[in-house]
Structure 1
Amino acid sequence: MSQNPQKPAGGAPPENALSKSYDPHAIETRIYEAWERAGYFAASGQGAPYCIMIPPPNVTGSLHMGHAFQDTLMDTLIRYHRMQGDNTLWQAGTDHAGIATQMVVERQLEAEGKTRHDLGREEFVKRVWQWKAESGGTITRQLRRMGASLDWSRERFTMDDGLSHAVTEVFVRLHEEGLIYRGKRLVNWDPVLHTAVSDLEVVSEEEAGHLWHIRYPIAGTKEHLVVATTRPETMLGDTAVAVHPDDERYKKFIGKMVELPLTGRKIPVIADEYVDKEFGSGCVKITPAHDFNDYEVGKRHNLPLINIFFSDAGVNLPGSPYHNLDRFKARKQIVADLEARGLLERVQDHKLMVPRGDRTGAVIEPFLTDQWYVKVGPLAQEAIQCVEDGRIKFVPENWTKTYYEWMRNIQDWCISRQIWWGHRIPAWYDADGHIYVARNAAEAHAQARKKHGLEVPLEQDEDVLDTWFSSALWPFSTLGWPGQTKELKTFYPTSVLVTGFDIIFFWVARMIMMGLKFTGEVPFREVYIHGLVRDAHGQKMSKSKGNILDPIDLIDGIDLETLVAKRTRGLMQPQMAKKIEQATRKEFPNGIPAYGTDALRFTFASLATQGRDIKFDLGRIDGYRNFCNKLWNAARYVLMNTEGQDCGLSGKIELTAADRWIVSRQQEVAAEVESAFREYRFDLASQAIYSFIWHEYCDWYLELSKVVLTDTHSRPEQLRGTRRTLVQVLETALRMLHPVMPFITEEVWQRVAKLAGKTGATLMREPYPRPERNLIDAAASEEMRWAMAVITGVRNIRGEMDISPAKPLPLMFQDGSPADKKYLEANRPYLAALARAESITWLDKGQEAPESATALVGHMKVLIPLGSLIDKRAELERLGKEMDKLEKELAKAKTKLANPDFVARAPQNVVEQEQGRVQQFETALVNLRHQRVKVEALPG
């Protein structure tokens, strides 16, 4: 139903009316800048504390769909609780992103023909800080575009002085308790970056490869074992061949030695249940220094660890013919040498998961190095218990199981990285290799003097800490820990952590362990786990797939050529670039239109179900852009009919059933929304608000209000009552919608607020609507449901019979109850206006009705005489033509069946098909004749 703005009853629209069309770009930046200038994002200092820590985005980053989705949910919660009157803080900040940031600056140096080593560590770090100051704010600017109401005045950076102090303090305390240690262990190693990386920085995807079956001769015999491997080069570091202890084929070889091909070494055959008897030959080469599973087998059997690689993954075996070869060149040479010696039994194609560094694309090597570790076992126990006893609650609850599985199988955490940008390890070494962990160099020297009795030179550890180490302290370090600040006392523990399931272990679990260890409290009360944003087909968004959507492009729009250039930029393979270009041109022939921030945010909220995947379809955002238009036009109608008018803020008013119904419905919706937010069901909250505003307020109430406002018989108190209801329901709806759609609601509210008796400076500081049970009016709701059902029934008949909405029609009511009759009398004006009733007739019991089209409202029939719907002469002419056509078709079919040759020669199914046609034609003719009789009986 349309609610196009009309002139107000009794006057022209004011000069300062809302613009005719909704233009998000005309309002969004202006409104956000006004909010930030006014300091509205800061905590109020009053009410119950409510705090969310933003998962700190990388300082190198730009906003992607996952960020935009997650930040929409957090901002919705923050705005909701701010309007609830809570002392609300959304803590802003960014992560220094050690590896990513160092790569950015190293690329800049490379363009200048330099490396970081040309600058030296101190100058290189200065250069990174310079880059951060000049170019590191992209994502924070984009967060502002998304309407994120973070307290920017408290913005933190994981390398700022306060957080750096917290990092050092935590490291030193953990080391003093024996929970941080240095040791030689296997790590994920990126041979391009020359550093250990976390599991989250390793992307494993299936690739086509080979399985090489190699013969390992049994020493002193003519027998051999066949070992299959996907990495032949690592055989240079083998220290055993393992078989399953129960494998009858190989029991006789356990304890014997095999000759390791190409090396001149002999290694033992061992028995270990790690081996799968059914896979391959049942024999597994064990390379403890270059495979995580083999490393564990090596520890069980006390096998030596032979590291065969340099840090760039070149072969490091002096005296070997493969020394200094790149690992993949070494692989080719080893395979050729094995084949030449008759030791390569066969090669088969094989699909395998290949781990690659997410930033370099290099194949990751398990690599044996000295690293710093956190002994997390002791920390994990209470972290498990706090979830078991309810101090922390996961939403949805099923993620608790995932958390437990990870925590109960936890491994020590490698926290060192071999780069320059980051928190430098607070450890110093003397010439003898003694380690002094201290808060600063002076403290380290004091420890060394105490040990040696004199001053000795010390060198600080070259490594820096894993970025996740400082992130693990985020909930309390940002609030001033280790100082006992007012902010820490007020906002810690924080209220809820909003994050994706992919970092439950990397970030969530570590924050819980560190928070409990250093504050004695959990870092947050609840953990809301959301799904990951994928494309409309459920595919992960990636550059190589060419299906990435940029949220800023959805807000501002982007033309086709720019979009194509953006999606294919940096792709090395011309075929891939061409494929992505073609797909983009097909999907977006006109580019992407500008949808504005509010439509994008509402789309995200509506998609926030409790599933693992969020399928983002542009059709949804298009629909919610229409919702913005609907709301804008509704506001224009309301303003045109209320500005400069008496809106019932004082004096006597009279509310119609329609007024009481819409107010009542708003209370029920407020209760639904309150419950949905409590359960983190953003989808249910947004859909309840959407349905109320579009389908009930706009489609029904605004149309019902026109009847009162344009009726010359309406009493002044009725006009005041309807005007008051128009503005107050709209103002309340704007408050209800604001957390999800902040910009359009603020713009409209600024115009509506005074009419509704509001004097506040901003919508975002107004109270969020709570259900007022005393305003729920069951009687008015029942009456209006009746009226709307009648109007809908009449409209359905019009639609089915293709009757113009403007054509007045006589209505008859049959088999109605006394309550129906009462509703009819009360709602005649609405039926006359919205059902376009030419006349209204109540048929008493026993009174016959003419042939009519019928709609049911309960047991009551709403009748529209067919004579009022149909042009009798035209309908008889149409029926006659249709019957003539069917009689000809029937005659042809009967003639065919009467032909003995056709029946005898045609396939049985063809004959049966023709017989079916005869039956269909005969049935259709009977129906048409019956219909003609009805039409002939109509008057006229």
Structure 2
Amino acid sequence: MSELPKHFDPAAIEARWYAHWEEERLFRPDRPEAEPWTIVNPPPNVTGSLHIGHALDNTLQDILVRHQRLLGKDALWVVGTDHAGIATQMVVERQLMETQQKRTDFSREEFVEKVWEWKEESGGEITQQLRRLGCSMDWSNERFTMDPGFTKAVTKVFVDLYNDGLIYRDKRLVNWDPGLKTAISDLEVENSEINGHFWHFSYPLEDGSGAISVATTRPETMLADMAVAVHPSDERYADIVGKNVRLPITGRLVPVITDEHADPELGSGAVKITPGHDFNDFDVGKRAGFEPAEMLNMLDAEAQVVQAADGLIPDALLGMDRFDARKKVVEMIEAEGLLEQVEDRVIVTPYGDRSNAVIEPWLTDQWYVDAEKLAVEPMAKVRSGEIDIVPKSWEKTFFNWMENIQPWCVSRQLWWGHRIPAWYGPDRKTPIDLHDLSSTTRDEVFVAATEEALLADLRKYYGADKRFEFLESEEDYLEWDNVLASHQELRETIEDLIPIFRDDDVLDTWFSSALWPFATLGWPDDMIQEVLPLDGGGLGGGDPSARDTGSGEITPPQTPPHQGEGLVARPGSDLARHYPNDVLISGFDILFFWDARMMMQGLHLMGEVPFKTLYLHGLVRAADGQKMSKSKGNTVDPLGLIDKYGADALRFFMAAMESQGRDIKMDEKRVEGYRNFATKLWNAARFCQANGIGASTTLEAPEAELPVNRWIISETVETLETLNKAFDDLRFDGAADAIYHFVWDKFCDLYIERAKDELNAPTDEQIAAFYPDSPRTNDGEIAQRKQETKLVAGWVLDQVLVMLHPFMPFITEELWHAMGERGSHDIIVARWPSPEADVDQEATAEMEAIFAFGGQIRSARSELNISPSVRTPAQLWNGSEEWLKKFVDHTRYLNRVARLGQKVIRNGNMQDLGPGIQVGFGDATIFLPLEGVIDLDAEKARLTKSLEAAQKEAGSLDKRLSNPQFVEKAKPEAVEKARADHAEKAAEAERLKAALERLG
């Protein structure tokens, strides 16, 4: 047993214990025969740093994995980072800008090499920060989404989905970020309300019979208008449906069409339709019969005006930035006399979360996944319960999104990322001018996972006698003449040469992270062809190139099989043992971007759900309930909180506040309170050390005779049952509440206080001086009571440390070793409690009566303003011999906690006792006379004044809460506070009223 320092210092123990756990590989102990249990972390960006959301998400995961490890399971927490295509490329490009360089100064290969250099030097800072939080991840198998193995998996998935008809190239609208010059996902778009305008234009009818009024917040897009839509039931426009209007500026004729998208109640009821620059208009355009290839696009990748397909945009507008063009278009329309009015209006505007550029809906060719088909199986698994979404309230949202799912755009216009394994070449069916490829179609697509497979596809299409020149990009293809000029040998043999160029784009990072539950475990390398019996008992012959060696190990087929029936995970591999995962924990905000897509990919590629339970937690908000953001300046640094209060306190706060999906309001005072909780446990352990209480030598509860020891064993059993149920139900708040109150209230405040009187047992003379009727004891009995209490206290403290370990790993490991010699038996790999004891109802009833008595006396003394230094005389009235004996057994404790007089007198009646405190004790009564103890008149006056004040304030709050206008119009937090204040004042009034009644 090593003596604990007087003061608890988290910083002194956290780094030491974490290094020890990691060095000893205790996060993944070797348990090949144990039941597997698996969880994967949502891979944070390699550029990221720990924010408060990460702290919540990873704390919850760590609590679960530590608990499962304590249960003896082969608990695996897969860890890794995401290559974060946009964020990482931006970091490196900013570094280049510091030396007046830019990405395009380098070849693609050179730039990617620079990104890898940055990753090795500076990437992954967040993994060190996760260690500070105490995350017990399997760092020995840390993964990165650009590792060779993971890249192989990503490439295979793309090729397989393409071959299955589930990935295709299409022209559709995307969220285009002109600052980054790439498509981005909805998650990377932030909507803000800004002051803008609503312009009303007049579009004249072609036949000169009138005009139709339209309104827009983006006047520049009218350069690409293709129709005007009215609602089918809008009779105002029935006569002009099918006619054409002539657009200002361009003079283009566009039809008046009907579509339910047009709202008759909004503005004029007519809306301009620009399919190439608005998501709603794109759908309207398709319904009207416009093919995407026909839709006009009047902006380039930098959001500058370019000529549309019909060539009608005036030269004066070409090359202008879209916002400059907006002003110019309004001026030109006004000059034509077609500007009707301009309204001031607040406009919801989308911004790129990284570039802060206004996002432009942009029509472009991209790669898409057929998410509608892939969504079918996940929905079925959620409905059947094979995937359990917790809390259930999110199921409705899940189904609503999945049933209305759109094609998933997976291509990004970046250099850093998984490059799309697609190549393009000329169409062999049309003449190929190898001296001018810019005029040659290049629509043939070849998708392959390896160079060999690509060459096979090319030879099959173009002929086995052809040679191929592989170009790096479409730009090189269009500049083929330059390539020929620099390669004389190519010019001499050009007749049998076919130029092929690779797709420039990379895959969206959500595409690769969707493979996380199985690609991190060895897929596809650990997928083998199932060997079926050769005696006719099987359903088929399997792959003849796969064979059973007789050792129970199956060799893989000579050619890696395509995903499909007959494939199984290699027996004994992590993939076989740990897929499906048991639980996934994530924020609800990535339910569709990550969670649902893992369901799609896992079910399609593995044939099984990726995880059995999906737990969705809420957001950590600022103390006032607002969403945290850097722009608001209300973010909280979790590392700063760890520096100030320790990781254990922050972790416990996260668990205690997490209530199945509800948002958490950040409250530093509560974090401080949990630091105090750790200090209280520390001091309890120091008390045990000082009294010769050490580590327990038994897993089961010790034999106990004393009621107080039987009671604390019962409380331990009940707490364990509560914890087990809370873990089963994923009630982090319930689990934290149970262990907190057991440690603070039961173990520290009640048991240790009561145990002091057994560890420092009074002599017979001391007891007799207090209660003359008490029986005599002997030294042997006293020694036995003391020894029993030491054993029980040591055992309970061990149970406390193990039960608390998932929440507060550092202090529990420190105290575990400080309480006795454990050898290499660290608490992180200890056994979850199994006391093999029942709840002792008799001991529980007795101790609850004892503690209630002490609490009531203390409360009454406090209400009556009796100084702690003043001892009150006591009289014991009536009562059975059983309860009188109990009083004797707890004499010293009662005397100490209730500050009773030096001698308790037992009398037979209670008449004419005067004012005093009367408290029940079993079937006996304790009476504490107050005559001469306090100034009764002064105390009555004080209590009366306080009572009136409390009643007045409670009445005022009640009146406010009874006002419907206050309840309906005030901020929710103001109403909540008023209710809490009312309850507090009402309870205070009741206490004061009871205190007055005691004084008579």
- Normalising by the smaller structure, the TM-score range is 0.7 to 0.9
Could you tell me how far apart the structure 1 residues matched to 2:283 and 2:625 are?
37
Asked if the contact 1:373/1:412 (under 8 Å) is kept, the reply is: yes
Percent of pairs with identical residues: 49
Paired residues in the alignment total 831
- Residue by residue over 1:55-112, the C-alpha shift from the partner in whole angstroms, topping out at 9 and shown as x without a partner, is 0000000000000000000000000000001110000100000011000001111111
CA shift digits 1:605-661 (9 cap, x unpaired): 001102431111112101111101111111111111115899999999764211111
Aligned to 1:352: 347
1:821 maps to: 884
TM-aligned CA distance change 1:663 to 1:654, over 3 Å: closer
* Match among 902, 916, 926 for residue 862 of structure 1: 926
Residue 17 (structure 2) aligned to one of 25, 31, 35: 31
Displacement of 1:362: 0.5
CA distance in 2 between partners of 1:89 and 1:780 (Å): 42
Structure 1 residue 275: deviation in Å?
1.1
Distance in structure 1 (CA, Å) of the matches to 2:997 and 2:102 = 93
Structure 1 residues 361-372: aligned runs within 5 Å: 361-372=356-367
Task: Give the Cα–Cα distance (whole angstroms) in 1 for the partners of residues 342 and 757 of structure 2.
Answer: 84
Judge conservation of contact 1:654–1:720 (CA < 8 Å) in 2: no
2:916–2:998: 8 Å Cα contact kept in structure 1? no
More displaced stretch, 705-714 vs 693-702: 705-714
In structure 1, distance between residues paired with 2:941 and 2:169: 97
Does residue 22 of the first structure (1) align with residue 89 of the second (2)? Answer: no
Q: Which residue is 2:487 aligned to?
A: none
> Out of 304, 307, 330, which is 2:297 matched to?
307
Counterpart among 646, 670, 674 of residue 724 in structure 2: 674
Aligned ranges 1:451-850 → 2 under 5 Å:
451-453=461-463, 454-455=466-467, 456-484=498-526, 485=570, 486-556=573-643, 594-642=644-692, 655-713=705-763, 715-754=782-821, 761-770=825-834, 772=836, 774-814=837-877, 816=879, 820-838=883-901, 839-844=903-908, 849-850=913-914
Distance 1:357 1:878 in 2: 67
Of 435, 443, 452, the residue aligned with 1:442 is: 452
Matches within 5 A, 1:190-229: 190-229=177-216
Inter-partner Cα distance in structure 1 for 2:619 and 2:939: 58
With structure 1 as the length reference, what TM-score do the two structures score? Answer: 0.85
**Amino acid of the residue matched to residue 700 of structure 1?**
L
- The reply on whether 1:40 has 2:82 as its aligned counterpart is no
Indicate how the Cα distance of structure 1 residues 650 and 228 shifts in structure 2: closer, same or farther if over 3 A, else same.
Answer: closer
Q: Structure 1 residues 818, 655: CA separation in 2 closer, same or farther (over 3 Å shift)?
A: closer
In terms of mean alpha carbon deviation, does 104-113 or 428-437 score higher? 428-437
Alpha carbons 1:760, 1:766 under 8 Å: kept:
no
Judging changes above 3 Å, is the alpha-carbon distance between structure 1 residues 880 and 762 closer, same or farther for their aligned structure 2 residues? closer
Once residues 997 and 609 of structure 2 are traced to their aligned partners in structure 1, the CA distance between those partners, rounded to angstroms, is 80
Q: For 2:237 and 2:940, locate their aligned partners in 1 and report how far apart those are by CA, in whole Å.
A: 90
- What is the Cα deviation at residue 771 of structure 1? 5.8
Counterpart secondary structure, 2:620: strand
Deviations 1:106-135 (A, max 9, x none): 111111111111111000000000000000
Mapped to 2, the partners of 1:683 and 1:652 lie a distance apart of 30
| 1:786–1:857 contact (8 Å) kept in structure 2 | yes
Deviation at 1:877, TM superposition (A): 8.7
Pairwise CA distance, 1:184: 1.2
Deviation of 1:206 after TM superposition, in Å, equals 1.8
Contact preservation (8 Å) 2:696, 2:795: no
- Higher mean alpha-carbon deviation, 331-340 vs 224-233, is at 331-340
Is 1:136 paired with 2:123?
yes
Per the TM alignment, residue 469 of structure 1 is displaced from its structure 2 partner at its CA by 0.6
CA separation in 2, counterparts of 1:646 and 1:271? 81
Report whether the alignment pairs 1:851 with 2:910. Answer: no
CA contact (8 A) 2:858 2:897 kept: no
Amino acid at match of 1:791: G
Alpha carbons of structure 1 residues 654 and 332: separation in structure 2 relative to 1, 3 Å: closer
Between 1:704-713 and 1:81-90, the stretch displaced more is 704-713
CA shift at 1:712, angstroms? 4.5
The correspondence of residues 115-264 of structure 1 with structure 2, limited to 5 A, is 115-264=102-251
1:264-275 matches, within 5 Å, as 264-275=251-262
Task: Please say if residues 197 and 217 of structure 2, whose CA atoms lie closer than 8 Å, have aligned partners that are also in contact.
Answer: yes
Q: Which moved more, 1:843-852 or 1:285-294?
A: 843-852
Between 1:784-793 and 1:835-844, the stretch displaced more is 835-844
Deviation at 1:341, TM superposition (A): 2.0
Q: Secondary structure at the match of 1:77?
A: helix
Compute the displacement of 1:351 (Å): 1.4
Asked if 2 retains the 8 angstrom alpha-carbon contact of 1:731 and 1:753, the reply is: no
The code of the aligned residue for 1:164 comes to T
- Cα distance in 2 for partners of 1:302, 1:746 equals 69
Given candidates 382, 395, 399, the residue that maps to 1:400 is 395
Q: Equivalent residue of 2:79, what SS?
A: strand
- Look up the match of 2:317: 322
Q: Is the 8 A contact 1:377 1:412 kept in 2?
A: yes
| 3-state SS of 1:420 partner | coil
Paired residue secondary structure (2:236): coil
Q: Map Cα deviations across residues 155-191 of structure 1 (whole Å, 9 max, x no partner).
A: 0000001110111111111111111111111111000
CA contact (8 A) 2:710 2:840 kept: yes
Instruction: Give the SS at the match of 1:124.
Output: helix
TM-score, scaled to structure 2: 0.80
Gaps of 5+ in 2: 428-441, 468-497, 527-569, 764-780, 945-991
Cα pair distance change 1:646/1:427, threshold 3 Å: closer
In structure 1, distance between residues paired with 2:998 and 2:864: 19
Q: How many Å apart are 1:808 and its aligned residue?
A: 2.4
Paired residue secondary structure (2:348): strand
* Aligned equivalents of 1:234, 1:459: Cα separation in 2: 34
Q: Is the 8 A contact 1:257 1:267 kept in 2?
A: yes
Q: Distance in 2 between matches of 1:104 and 1:933?
A: 72
* Residue 278 to residue 867, structure 1, CA distance change in 2 (3 Å): same
Unaligned runs of 5+ in 1: 1-13, 557-593, 884-926, 936-940
* CA distance, structure 1, for counterparts of residue 755 and residue 812 of structure 2: 22
Quote the Cα distance in structure 1 between the aligned partners of 2:997 and 2:700. 62
Opposite residue 858 of structure 2, the aligned amino acid is R
Q: Provide Cα deviations, 1:577-609, integer angstroms capped at 9, x if missing partner.
A: xxxxxxxxxxxxxxxxx1110000000000110
1:73 aligns with 2:140: no
Superposed CA deviations along residues 730-770 of structure 1, whole A, max 9, x for unmatched, are 1110100000000001001111244xxx6652101011124
Is the contact made by 2:649 and 2:674 (CA closer than 8 Å) also made in structure 1? yes
Aligned twin of 1:6: none
- CA-based RMSD: 2.5
Instruction: State whether residues 181 and 413 of structure 2, in contact with CA within 8 Å, keep that contact through their aligned partners in structure 1.
Output: yes
Q: 1:301 to 1:879 in 2, by over 3 A?
A: closer
- 1:829 Cα deviation (Å)? 2.6
- Of 822-831 and 367-376, deviating more is 822-831
